[in-house]
Structure 1
Amino acid sequence: MRSDNARDEQRDRRNGTGSEDGLAKAIEIVVTPAIFAAAGFGLDRWWDTGPWLALSFGVVAFIVKLLVEWYRYAERMQLHEEELASNRPSKQRGIDRATGFDEPTSLPTGVSLESDTDSTPPQP
C-alpha cells in the first residue's frame, strides 16, 4: 500500500492546484474556439465565402473542447472513486463489524441479538 505522501503527490500532479487549474481550463474553453474562428474568418476573407467557415470552425472547436473536458472530468472522477474505494478498510461497515453496541455485554438487560422466531415468548 502506498504512503499518504506519495498518494498526495500523485493527486497534486494529476489535478494541479484547484483555482489555477480551473482558470486555465476556462480560458482554454474560450480561447480555443476564438482562435479557430479567427482562422475561419481569415479563410472566409481569402476565399470570399462569408462568415460560414468562421462560424463552423468556432462552433466545432467549442463542441470538441467541451467533449474533451467532459471525458477528462469523467476519468478524474473514476480515479477519485477508485482511490476512495481502495482506502476503505474491508469489512468495516454494517453488521460485519462488532462494535460497542453489537457486543452482548453492552446490551440492556433482557435484550439479545438472537432471533426470537425459534424461541417461545416469555411468560408473565
Structure 2
Amino acid sequence: MRLLPSAPRTSNNDSLGHGIDAALVTAFFLGIGFGLDRWLGTTPWFMIGLFLLGSIGVFAKFWYQYDARMNELDAERRQRVAAGRHAP
C-alpha cells in the first residue's frame, strides 16, 4: 500500500500564534511596569496601567485584523454574486 502525500495545511486563523502574541505582549508590558514601579517606588500602578495598555492594544490589533479579513471575504462574496456564481 502506497501512502499519498497530504496537502500542507494553510490557515489564515493561526490561533496558536495569536495566543503567543497576546501572552508575550502582555508579559512584556507587565515587566516594564514592574521595572518602573520598582525604580520609582510606585508599586503597583505602572504595572497595572501598562498591563491594561498592552492588553487593550493586543485585542484592538486582533479586532482590526478580524475586521479586515471579514471585509476581504465580503468583497470576494460580492464579486462571485456579481459574476453570477453563488457563494458556496
State the TM-score, normalized to the length of structure 2.
0.76
Percent identity over paired residues = 29
2:41 corresponds to which of 48, 55, 63: 48
Among candidates 11, 27, 32, match of residue 34 of structure 1: 27
- Which sections of structure 1, spanning at least 5 residues, go unmatched? 1-15, 94-124
Q: Does 1:17 align with 2:11?
A: yes
- Helix, strand or coil at the partner of 1:76: helix
Unaligned runs of 5+ in 2: 1-9
Q: Distance in 1 between matches of 2:11 and 2:76?
A: 19
Tell me whether 1:78 sits opposite 2:74 in the alignment. no
- Which is richer in helix? 2
**Larger RCO, structures 1/2 (Cα 8 Å, 6+ apart):** 2
Q: How many residues align?
A: 77
CA–CA separation in structure 2 for the residues paired with 1:30 and 1:70: 16
Deviation of the 1:18 alpha carbon: 4.8
Larger Rg: 1
TM-score normalized by the length of structure 1: 0.55
CA RMSD of aligned residues (A): 2.2
The one-letter code matched in structure 1 to 2:60 is L
